[in-house]
């Protein structure tokens, strides 16, 4: 134990009733969310005494285990959501390209959101401006919550916008650019208003003094901003114009009779 740093106090060793285990409590110098405390737990878990592995429990150790488990299944969770969304959007929008753009944009929004959370909460940038306590660990189930909520909002905006563009396109198939412009004029303001309401509500969570609520609010506010304003109102219409008539090309075997 002499080589283990960040230790404030160590209690005397207590044997178990059967004498097979020895238990002691270690108090770190830093709080449970501090990266140094996480490093201490990992160091203890790699420690061996008389050839026996050290088992570590406690709030920090439990958070580490939960985070590792969630991180291991997060890619599968995202893949299932994206795959199911793609299939549903193909039949809802009668297109292959537009659903591909929709789910691809959603993945970009999630990557940007998680990057922003790491930059602000975990690394502590703009902590004073965002009313954050400084460098702290990211909530282990935050990515799952963020993906679930943002997915619903993103697909809602997507269907609302693309349906209107498609209606305008059917009126004049030779001019996809005009269809996109008119579609944005008719529903763009509604998407902007809805997004601003959500951003305002989520951003207000940052003014609390609870880091869990702050991190959730910040993640959702940034996610809605990135997805609504950058992906749905900028990226999606631009790619629809570039793809032209190919947007609504659908293989015959996928068309309903």
Q: What is the pLDDT of residues 215-237, one digit of tens each?
A: 899 999 999 999 999 999 999 99
- For residues 64 and 222, give the distance between their C-alpha atoms in angstroms, rounded to a whole number: 26
pLDDT reported for residue 197: 95
- pLDDT-derived band at 105 (thresholds 50, 70, 90) equals very high
DSSP H or E stretch at residue 10 = strand 7-10
**Bridge pairing between strands 52-53 and 48-49:** antiparallel
pLDDT(101) > 80: yes
What string of DSSP letters covers 94-153?
T-SHHHHHHHHHHHHHHHHHHHHHIIIIIS-TTTTTTT--SS-PPPTTHHHHHHHHHHHH
How far CA 243 is from CA of 29, 95, 97, 247, in Å, comes to 58, 12, 8, 6
* pLDDT classification of 68: cutoffs 50, 70, 90: confident
Residue 67: the pLDDT is 80
For residues 4-33, give the mean pLDDT. 82
Segment 234-253 mean pLDDT: 86
Contact 136, 67 (CB under 8 A): no
Q: Residue 199: what are its φ and ψ, rounded to 5°? A: -60, -45
Residue range 119-125: mean pLDDT, rounded: 86
10 Rama class: left (phi>0) / alpha (psi -120 to 50) / beta: beta
Distances (CA, A) of 55 to 1, 28, 58, 206: 14, 16, 10, 37
Q: Which pLDDT band, with edges at 50, 70 and 90, does 161 fall under?
A: very high
What is the arithmetic mean of pLDDT over 46-52?
A: 77
Q: What percent of the chain has a predicted confidence (pLDDT) above 70?
A: 96
238 versus 28: which is more confidently predicted? 238
Q: Tell me the C-alpha distance between 111 and 118, whole Å.
A: 11
Is residue 6 scored above 60 in pLDDT?
yes
Q: Residue 27 — pLDDT band, cuts 50, 70, 90? A: confident
**Nearest C-alpha neighbor of 101 from the set 254, 251, 238, 226:** 238
pLDDT of residue 31: 78
Identify the residue with better confidence: 242 or 33.
242
- Segment 224-251 mean pLDDT: 90
Read off the pLDDT of each residue in 81-108 and give the average, rounded to a whole number.
89
- Residue 219: the pLDDT is 92
Rounded to an integer, the average pLDDT of 57-77 is: 83
74-254: CATH superfamily: Multidrug efflux transporter AcrB transmembrane domain (1.20.1640.10)
| Domain ranges (residues) in the chain | 7-56, 74-254
């Amino acid at each position: 134990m002499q080589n283990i740093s960040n230790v404030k106090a160590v209690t005397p060793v207590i044997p178990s009733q059967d004498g097979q285990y020895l238990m002691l409590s270690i108090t770190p110098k830093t709080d449970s969310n501090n990266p140094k405390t996480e490093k201490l737990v990992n160091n203890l878990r790699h420690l061996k005494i008389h050839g026996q592995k050290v088992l570590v429990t406690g709030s920090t150790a439990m958070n580490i285990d939960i985070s590792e488990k969630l991180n291991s299944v997060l890619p599968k969770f995202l893949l299932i959501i994206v795959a199911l969304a793609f299939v549903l959007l193909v039949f809802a929008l009668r297109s292959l390209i537009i659903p591909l753009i929709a789910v691809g944009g959603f993945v970009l929004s999630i990557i940007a959101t998680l990057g922003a959370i790491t930059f602000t909460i975990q690394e502590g940038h703009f902590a004073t401006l965002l009313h954050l306590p400084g460098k702290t660990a990211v909530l282990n189930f935050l990515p799952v919550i963020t993906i679930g909520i943002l997915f619903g909002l993103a697909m809602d905006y997507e269907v609302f916008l693309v349906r209107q563009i498609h209606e305008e396109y059917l009126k004049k198939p030779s001019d996809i650019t005009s269809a996109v412009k008119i579609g944005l004029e008719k529903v763009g303001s509604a998407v902007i208003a809805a997004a601003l309401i959500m951003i305002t509500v989520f951003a207000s969570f940052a003014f609390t003094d609870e880091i869990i609520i702050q991190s959730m609010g910040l993640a959702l506010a940034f996610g809605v901003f990135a997805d609504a304003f950058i992906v749905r109102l900028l990226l999606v219409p631009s790619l629809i114009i570039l793809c032209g008539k190919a947007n609504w090309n659908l293989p015959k075997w996928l068309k309903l009779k």
